[in-house]
């Protein structure tokens, strides 16, 4: 399967690709398989400055349109990444956008359910999300807050959206963990909006940096999240009409954008990314996005690929079918979260 540009929908995914986490190999893909640590755990230093001299700007390589679906007890959402198992970008498994002015679309929420083998990152823009888990944690995510939850060996939790003036809007990202970390103890952290730094962008606009470091000529910001997965950057970017955003990124990281408002044109070719779609970027050490006349708001994600096989069964994401059977057994017998 060529990794050609174009709009991809689940229907375009190849049969037989289920369970295969990796994109077909491309020239330069070996760089994708060099594991590095996640955000907050490494610095760029001199090496980074040296690379700025000969930068390659990433191009918009593939578009994954979001599809309307529902999950939990009937929460209506739009799923781009992960809408089919072949539509992933290692280490990213899934991205859901929740957006509704109608409480009937979401108040039933996500009652008690398990996870094993990966991390979930929930980011609220409007409304609240109440949660409770098997570790005894409880919280209420408010607008601008983030929950970084590492399910690892196992967690059972509920996630219940609450309305503010009727509206609920937010995102949930699933990020894979490498085999060596899948059976570690679960952990989570609620990050309050006030802990997340906002960086003024060189070309206008601003970015909230949840995880990793975003650098501009006039400054840099580092997000508070400590990913156990290979996420190296999670930023929420807001550009005014016509603004040009450019930033250096780790050349071997997989990266994508998710445009949730406005219009965005990606790379030196200024290729348009449709709204409510994930735009997967080629490798390269620089990225560039120009906002349309009405501005643009998008999530920018980068991560170090894991390069391991994936077997997913709903909320369990492991490396083998045997491990999935074990997860199901553990869940049924009440041992999912023990350990
Ligand atoms: Mn969950």
**What is the rounded distance in angstroms from the CA atom of residue 270 to the CA atom of residue 57?**
11
CA of 19 to the centre of ligand 1 (A): 20
What is the CATH classification number for the domain harbouring 62?
2.60.120.10
Residue 45 lies in a domain: yes
Residue 1 lies in a domain: no
Residue 324 lies in a domain: no
**What is the rounded distance in angstroms from the CA atom of residue 174 to the CA atom of residue 79?**
11
Residue 236 lies in a domain: yes
CA of 173 to the centre of ligand 1 (A): 10
Closest CA to 174 of 93, 245, 105: 93
Least confident of 15-29, 122-136, 212-226, 283-297: 15-29
Task: Name 292's bridge partners.
Answer: none
**What is the rounded distance in angstroms from the CA atom of residue 77 to the CA atom of residue 141?**
18
Residue 38 lies in a domain: yes
Q: pLDDT tens digit string along 64-99?
A: 999 999 898 888 899 999 998 889 999 999 999 998
CA of 111 to the centre of ligand 1 (A): 9
CA of 283 to the centre of ligand 1 (A): 31
Per-residue pLDDT band for 1 (boundaries 50, 70, 90) equals: very low
Per-residue pLDDT band for 161 (boundaries 50, 70, 90) equals: confident
Res 47: pLDDT: 53
User: Does the reported pTM lie above 0.75?
Assistant: yes
Res 39: pLDDT: 66
Q: pLDDT tens digit string along 274-296?
A: 999 999 999 999 999 999 999 99
**What is the rounded distance in angstroms from the CA atom of residue 205 to the CA atom of residue 4?**
32
pLDDT(218) > 70: yes
CA of 270 to the centre of ligand 1 (A): 36
State the total domains in the chain: 1
67 lies in which domain range? Answer: 7-316
Average pLDDT, the chain: 86
CA of 338 to the centre of ligand 1 (A): 18
CA of 292 to the centre of ligand 1 (A): 35
Closest CA to 285 of 245, 338, 259, 248: 248
For the beta carbon of residue 189, count every other beta carbon within 10 angstroms: 15
Res 24: pLDDT: 30
CA of 113 to the centre of ligand 1 (A): 6
Res 38: pLDDT: 65
CA of 153 to the centre of ligand 1 (A): 14
CA of 182 to the centre of ligand 1 (A): 16
pLDDT(6) > 90: no
Residue 262 lies in a domain: yes
Residue 334 lies in a domain: no
Residue 296 lies in a domain: yes
């Amino acid at each position: 399967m060529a990794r050609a540009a174009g709009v991809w929908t689940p229907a375009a995914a190849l049969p037989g690709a289920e369970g295969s986490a990796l994109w077909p190999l491309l020239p330069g893909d070996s760089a994708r398989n060099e594991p590095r640590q996640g955000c907050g755990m490494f610095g760029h230093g001199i090496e980074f400055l040296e690379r700025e001299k000969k930068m390659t700007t990433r191009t918009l390589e593939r578009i994954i349109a979001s599809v309307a679906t529902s999950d939990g007890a009937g929460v209506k959402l739009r799923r781009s990444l992960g809408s089919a198992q072949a539509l992933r970008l290692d280490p990213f498994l899934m991205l859901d956008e929740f957006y509704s002015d109608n409480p009937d679309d979401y108040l039933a929420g996500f009652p008690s359910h398990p996870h094993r083998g990966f991390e979930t990152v929930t980011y609220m823009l409007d409304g609240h999300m109440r949660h409770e888990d098997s570790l005894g944690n409880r919280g209420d995510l408010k607008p601008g807050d983030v929950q970084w939850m590492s399910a690892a060996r196992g967690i059972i939790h509920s996630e219940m959206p609450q309305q503010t003036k009727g509206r609920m809007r937010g995102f949930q990202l699933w990020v894979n963990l490498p085999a060596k970390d899948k059976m570690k103890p679960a952990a989570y952290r609620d990050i309050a909006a006030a802990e997340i730094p906002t960086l003024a962008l060189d070309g206008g606009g601003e970015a909230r940096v949840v995880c990793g470091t975003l650098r501009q000529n006039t400054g840099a910001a580092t997000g508070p999240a400590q990913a156990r997965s290979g996420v190296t950057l999670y930023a929420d970017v807001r550009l005014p009409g016509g603004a040009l955003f450019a930033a250096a990124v780790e050349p071997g990281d997989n990266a994508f954008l998710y445009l949730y408002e406005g219009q965005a044109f990606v790379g030196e070719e200024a290729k348009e990314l449709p709204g409510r779609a994930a735009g997967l970027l080629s490798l390269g050490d620089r990225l560039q996005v120009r906002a349309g006349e009405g501005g643009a708001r998008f999530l920018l994600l980068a991560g170090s690929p894991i390069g391991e096989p994936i077997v997913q069964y709903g909320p369990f994401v492991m490396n083998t079918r045997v491990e999935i059977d074990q997860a199901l057994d553990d869940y049924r017998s009440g041992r999912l979260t023990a350990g």
